[in-house]
Structure 1
Amino acid sequence: MRIDVAKKIVWLASYPKSGNTWFRMFLSALLKNDGAFNINTPEIQGIFSSRALFEQFTDFDSGYLYRHEVLQLLPEVFTEFANLNQSSEKLFLKVHDAYILNEKGLPIIPAAPTRCAVYFIRNPLDIVASFSNHMGKSFDQMILTMNNPMAFLASQKNNLNNESQFPQLLLSWSEHVLSWKYVTQFPVLIIRYEDMLADTLATFSRITDFIGLQASQQEINKALATTSFHQLKQQESTAGFNEINPSRSFFRQGQAGKWVDELTKEQANLIISTHGTVMQQYGYPSSLIME
């Protein structure tokens, strides 16, 4: 048993469609710093739900394991992952899972190898259309998902499958936010997507400082220019983006407040009535629409 574990992992956590991908692209451009940035080869170490990474460190065929068995092994997998990456001072991993406990009563996100986490939050009213586009489902279907306390991403019907990722328990949008907000085992910085848009340099600089990256303002500005919404969308239109169905566009609008033109009053109120308490905590509209 290892006593000393290097705290290397930086979790980039979020409910889907909340700014995680934009920051990962920025981070990749910042780390690469040679102008050769490619949206399909980001400079990060993967995603928490990766079956391939799990199988690499367990030698198990994950298709033959029940979900509760996988969740019991995940903390050990990522502790070992950090221990074996001796050449890297920091390891960046994306995660969409809610911060939950496994059957052993342990967090599925292990504290031992974790340096910190950045949690990206976005107005759930704006998530609806973006999530709908990403999943190829209707707004009403996505609202049901966001309001569902047992919602999964990449839900699968059986254990024997060819999916590249494990099912990821999201919980409802509010529960997802709160699960990460109240983490005490390691530092968590909560960043609003709206602030990433409105005060980009200051917000991205705050994140790089928090995760311990030494970068000048010039380097941060260069990475931001390389990964502007226009540049990302242009790369996607030219070469595609391997994180979404080719028939749809991942980088859709990159704006805040578009829900006003996209959702009906009834749809907006379904979100607000369920999540208004948490929305209010982060400055999002939390009063039901009466007109």
Structure 2
Amino acid sequence: MRFLIRRFLALGGVLIASSMIVFCALYLAPGSPEQFLVQGRTVSPEVLDAIRAQYSLDDPLPVRYWNWLSGVFTGDMGRSLLTQQDVGALLASRIPTTLSLAAYAAALIIICGIGLGIVAGTRGGVAERIVIFASNLGIAVPTFFAALVLMSVFSVGLGWFPVFGAGEGAVDRVWHLTLPALALSLPSIAVIARITRTAIVEESESEHVLIAVARGLPRRVILWRHTVRNSLLPVTTAVGMHIAGLVAGAFVVEYAFTLDGTGALLVNSVQRKDFAVVQAIALIMVIAFGVVNLLVDLLYTVIDPRVRLKKGA
């Protein structure tokens, strides 16, 4: 319980510090909201003053930050400068698409990345060489290029999957998001497969595994209880980092497959200086990173009880 309390307090501190950095960086960047609102037209100083007063741009930066942060805690993230919609309502219609895409990609990373790494690390030979070659290729291929290749082959060429939209309903959404999730997760699958394979090879040569072999334990027990399980700590760290980055990296795939998610909205909002939307999406990304890191820390204690004992000490 003490460990959980410390982790939640640390997560809260990171969220506050990150939100402060994001908030200040947007206002320090070139350009201003009122310049976007007037669209380059020449307006009187009175009109500019009215715009600044409407959006509280004349308040000191700490006051603006406090007003925004207190609004977030009450569920009020402000209004979009571009559409005049409530930011919470605007994100509510887009977050399910991004979360579905990120969850699908995360499942592919865990299943395919760790699975291929285990195959390469335990079997060796041709299987290991194939996994290494495929992982090198996956790491070298950029996400946008992978998206174009997948669309050309499996959508335009074979017609197996749709090329745009997120679908309606659970089954239709899975069908629509298969290619985007594969394009988003492909580099991470390659990295996780290499890390898993290396961790298993190194663990198989450790002292306790050699002792288990000398004692004549069954190969299945040695493989899963002593080799694979003990090699999962570095793999878990890498998986957590890649999954946490899925929300931030989804905008490329969302643009390529015309998905109505938060990534595409973020790019459009940054270009148009829609501060309230950018701040809200950035805060969501920070929360995603913090939550995933917290889950990784908790998973450590499940994989290796020694970590739990150390935390308790």
Tell me which protein shows more helix as a share of its residues. 2
Q: TM-score, normalised by structure 2?
A: 0.24
Tell me which protein shows more strand as a share of its residues. 1
Task: Please identify the structure whose Cα radius of gyration is greater.
Answer: 2
